[in-house]
Structure 1
């Protein structure tokens, strides 16, 4: 019974992530990965709660940096595509 309840909760949580924007998805993924890693390291060090909190913050920052890189990459691609399509050289 407990396993069925846990499975149901996991399915409902994942279903809520269906309509996330790429930015939200990257930030959520970074936060979740950081919290997981922080919880593991915190448990080894003796304070899983503090490790989770610190890991979530670091993961959120990492997700924000990754999102910035991906957005810049997409913007550069679009500028190059537009310039190539119009025959004009890309903006400097």
Structure 2
């Protein structure tokens, strides 16, 4: 059962990542701190719900991690 949960999270993350790309010269959703926080919150809530945990806590943790990822080396800079 656990492998299906992890596969579902991976598939959902891939779909969300595909929706956040911008091909028109504008900053994409993942190039701003707010966009990363929202994306992290969505993925955190989905992961927590899939593992039968508190979705609100998962969203809060995911949002914090996503928002804090702007300063990490190796990731694209935030605008």
* TM-score when normalising by structure 1: 0.42
Q: Which has the larger radius of gyration?
A: 1
* TM-score when normalising by structure 2: 0.48
Q: Which has the higher contact order (CA 8 A, sep 6+)?
A: 2
